[in-house]
Structure 1
Amino acid sequence: MTKPIGSEIFAGHFKGRRALVTGGGSGIGLGIAQAFAEAGASVLIVDRDPKVADSAENLRQAGFEVEHAVADVTKEDEVKAAFARVVELWGALDILVNNAGIITIANLEELSLEEFNRVLAVNTTAVFLCCREAAPLLRASENGVILNASSGQGRQGFIFTPHYAASKFGVIGLSQSLAKELAPSGIRVNSYCPGIVKTEMWEYNDREWGSRLGNYKPGELIQEWINGIPLKRPAEAADVANLLLFLASDAGSYITGQAINIDGGMFMN
């Protein structure tokens, strides 16, 4: 994994701060967890995949204070258990990153209610569950921050993903509401909106969208979209992590209630 540049800029900045990252076992989530650990934070990475234990161990072997918890963030009892682990480890929490997310791609007539609800459960309801459990801990922090994963589809819905678009629009609305409610406690809440990122999810997207939008060979559709990005490249996990380091830092202390694009200029507002 490429070392996030931001962790060098913010070296030691998060020493003494404690962070929980959902969906932290791989992809963007692991990049975020690594970035905060490199910048000095103690990090608990949460993922439903038991392989999260290996990800945490790799970071510990690199000299960072990283723990893990296996939990499905759509299940209330498992979310509660993950936050109980935070209390057990540190007795406090300063940063919550709700990064866990899934996408499926289907024609409307083929999209089942079960599939629709599953995507909303992971992408939106789980954000609510984690924010609710984190709130008492963050109120006790002098640096309480919540960062919620939205998407470019939180800006503009795309074909064959009405459930995903709805879930990501929902994250932005939820974040704005909580930013207002939690501001008197000094807690800042923002969401981040990645575009195309080098992850396994985007390999799936390329394949499934490509099969529905035309006779695309693997890699052709995503390259077509990348060519339309002003900066002409997809994001790395480190690009997303760098934004979150800034938003969680003292340098971002006057930013709350915002949804910030990290997409190379794909969407501009």
Structure 2
Amino acid sequence: MLGKFKDKDFEAIRNSALSRQTPSNLAGAFIISIPLLWLMYFLVFYVAGDATGDVTNYPLFSEMMLICFWISIALTVFMVLFTIRVIYMKFQKIQYLVGIGLSHALFGGGTYLAALFIIGKSDKVSADVLIKITLISLSTMVIILLVTVIRFITLLNKGAYRRGTAKDVQRTKFEGYSYVPIVVIASTGFVITLQIIISNYDFEGLNQLIVIVIGFLVAHVMSFVLPEQLVILYCKYRFKSFNFDNRGKLYYIEDDH
């Protein structure tokens, strides 16, 4: 599907997004993120899920806790490795993949699970209701993901991500209109999910409601961000110009040689 495009077709993304995500910047972010990752694990499973006290009623909580523990271990090991210059410069693509996993572990999966676990601590919420909430929210995120992919391909075919063309100037306009269906889908799924939550859950305070709303909102935002991250990863594997030289500079676009 993307094979017919050249690196110049992705140049706007390369210059705007990837130029800020140099291997050295990612390495620095990994150093900061290691304690944040384990803080998120603690907050999700020992505060929101309350593993040692009033445990959430969410199905398979213990199994999910164990799986997330090993995922966190794996991410930590990779993050430590990719703070070493000789490694991250040689394996830039894998480093970027680890960065994608980290971003979704912190800002997508973590906040989303925290929201679900807090809902599951109410005696009024059955396992069936929790599963219904999960399915609706996940379905909405999958639809957002698919619409975003279609939107991206449409813009790509229009040349909206090429630099220095008339369509590059129009890119902002195209993207602005293409946000509309995504916003509608996200809003609809978000409202339906909240209606189920409010009708089944007795809130103990505003703080819990805020965590739930933020958790679902951030998860939906991350499903919108994921396609561009995957496209950049694809381009890093396909095009040399999406990778960095030893000076930390992006290689030139192939057609510019």
Q: TM-score range by the shorter chain?
A: under 0.3
Structure number, greater radius of gyration: 2
Whose RCO is larger (CA < 8 A, sep 6+)? Answer: 2
Q: TM-score, normalised by structure 2?
A: 0.23
TM-score (norm 1): 0.22
| Structure with more of its chain in helix, by fraction | 2
**Which is richer in strand?**
1
